[in-house]
Chains A and B, each alone.
Chain A
Amino acid sequence: MSANDEDNKQQFRPEDHPNDHFLLTTVVGSYPKPKWLNRAKELYQDPESDFDGDNWTEAKDDACRLITNEHERAGLDVVVDGEMRRNEMVEFFAHRIDGYEFNGPIKVWGHNYFDKPSVVSEVEYDESWLVDEYEFTAGASDRPVKVPITGPYTLANWSFNEAYEDDDELTLDLADLVNEEIEKLVEAGARYIQIDEPALATTPDDHAIVGESLERIVAGLPDDVRIGLHVCYGDYSRIYPEILEFPVDEFDLELANGDYEQLDVFKDPEFTKDLALGVTDAHIAEVDSVEQIEENIKRGLEVVPPEQLVISPDCGLKLLPREVAYGKMANMVEAARNVEEDLDEGRIDVDRSTAAPADD
């Protein structure tokens, strides 16, 4: 982990990258599951069916290969397996951590629900969470693989706490478990870890506890491991610039959904980390044009120079129709390559010191 070190990003640059500039393209993580995978899950859960555990594992392996390949076809520089093995970002982990129990789904928004777990006793590390997933995906692709992992603050905050005196205590206990898991991932070869902390935007006064838990998470990790932090759907002015103190290389931020209304927040003081800019809304089921995404990418250049810019959708794409998710990724990559070319040719000139907010 080395903050704002250009080499850190460059280690993911493909050998045959066509342009001098390199705007790393990736996704936040989740991706629509193929319909047959959902069908396979139903069969697996149906006691009448002879579709057994081995069949279910094979189905998930196949889906992981398929979506990793889909990310490659879209041209992403860093791929993910689309979280084919995960059901939800808190549930998945809570099932693997001792101390949690489940009571049923609760609403997040509209008809999007999750099985918010309850912490009923002290949390403990049991089985590995993601090493198998990482090793399988890395074996299925020649490209670098990013591992998204839900952060301890979100794991604590999006659980019902029946056991701990306060949520901070729970967060720090969970941070130790996340650290243990990341150490195992790094041992297995992972070089790009993204900590997902969407809950940070909900209770912004807590940026100190998130910082403290990140210190625990990165303790003992090699410098060249890239650590990103994904935050979304909140009032960023309440956490910026405090988050610049966090021991991470990159902030991955949702900004397209709000039409870059909050972009100015990050202009002062100077954004000293890499910015993974959300350039397409993850909750609009329409593929943005390449031209539109190019414009969005240029908004990122108002905040950071190209060396610090990474291109990504706002958030996980799992709720979109699959063809729309693919279209967004493919157009995103095309747009990034076009902007790189324009930068190479000196056709883009963004003066960040006088960059004015858009007047729309």
Chain B
Amino acid sequence: MTDYVSTTPGLFPLPDWAKDDLSDLKGHQKHDLISGDEDEEITSVYEEARTEVLEIQREADLDRVVEGQLRWDDMLAHPLAVHDAVETRGIVRYYDNNNFYREPVVTDDLEFDGDIASELETATDLLDADDDLQAVLPGPYSLFDLATDEHYGDDEEFLAAVGDFLADELEAFPDHETLFLLEPSLVTDSPADGLDELASEAIDTVASATDADVVVQPYWGALSEKVHAHLLDADIDAVGYDFVSNQEDNLYNINEYGTADDISLGLVDGQNTLVEDPEAVRDRTDWVFDQLPVAEFDTVYLTTNTETFYLPFNKFEEKLAVLAEAASLAEVTPA
């Protein structure tokens, strides 16, 4: 029997009150963004906001809860933006969005940092006994792609170093049920020949650093055939497919090359306020499986296609509820 798991890729919007409070406390310029050594007052705002988003996930009845990555001012570039061996420079565009992050320039060895582990510890302290924690990290290729290297000297070495760095970070994480590795760059800036294989190796390195189920979630389109095929070589439990932005190529990839034992379906739009109907999401889940000759999955993750910080907080909350509801509907009447 298939287990339908409602979850999100994390990177939540801050509650509106926290947006206000943190604007006042931190400021609006490049040098005001998160540094990793924020003071007590700022830390306590984040703690309160974290408590709130955990509660909202519980109320929505999601099967996995995430910490929310509320401190990630630089979005997926966060793990490097707070790192000592990294200089942050001008603000640069975050993929094709009206969002920006500080360009992280790696100037020294990427050694263990621990920022995300300690962030996750604070969430663990707030969990109930029956909460299943999901950790979230940028995939090594996306983090490599978002950063600039002025230390390692060549792409292969830099990508491997980013993979090792993320693996070291992950090893320090508290217990978690699932890990989502977000890999939009695998779609948007598809790795060239040679690098595609190394991207999968780096993912493998990261995935090996946890006992949890690992879901690699690319988005904003579909992977190229070759990148998809290489990704399946990595020791991961599920690949995610963004069915909001591209149905055809994602179905093609699965039909042509198969996928992992589990699957993650991005069916709820993380970037539009139009709130989906839970039945419609369930129907779309069925529709996806109808298109596949073999659709026997142990676990099906139902999620938004992208991070959710793009949404106003009220719509974000509504979408979490839709995901949870859609998963329980699918559970009752499986595909």
Contacts and interface: CB of A to CB of B under 8 A. Distances in A.
Contacts of B92: 233
Contacts of B32: 110-111
Interface stretch (B23-31, B192-200, B255-263): B23-31
B29 A104 contact: no
B151 to A, nearest CB: 19
Given A110-B73, A284-B29, A158 B98 contact: yes
A118 B91 CA distance: 26
A10 interface: no
Interface in B84-107: 90-94, 96-101
A257 B310 contact: no
Contact of A111 (B28, B272, B314, B315): B28
Interface stretch (A131-139, A199-207, A216-224, A299-307): A199-207
Contact of B28 (A106, A162, A319): A319
Given A104-B16, A105-B16, A111-B22, A162 B272 contact: yes
A106 B311 CA distance: 6
Secondary structure at the B interface, as helix, strand, loop or mixed, is loop
B99 A107 contact: yes
Given A103-B312, A109-B100, A283 B272 contact: no
A285 interface: yes
Interface string A292-326: 00000000000000000000000000010000000
Contacts of A259: 90
Contacts of A158: 98
A198 B98 contact: yes
A157 B29 contact: no
Contact of B98 (A105, A111, A157, A235): A157
Nearest to B101: A109
Interface in B282-323: 309-315
Interface string A157-188: 11011100000000000000000000000000
A294 B224 CA distance: 47
Contact of B91 (A105, A109, A111, A198): A109
B230 interface: no
B236 to A, nearest CB: 30
B310 A103 contact: no
Nearest to B313: A104
A238 to B, nearest CB: 10
Nearest to B21: A111
B33 interface: yes
Interface of A: 103-113, 115-116, 118, 157-158, 160-162, 198-199, 201-203, 233-235, 257-259, 281, 283-285, 319
Given A111-B19, A160-B271, 15 more contacts: A104-B312, A106-B309, A106-B310, A106-B312, A108-B100, A109-B99, A110-B32, A111-B73, A112-B23, A161-B272, A162-B272, A199-B98, A233-B100, A283-B91, A319-B28
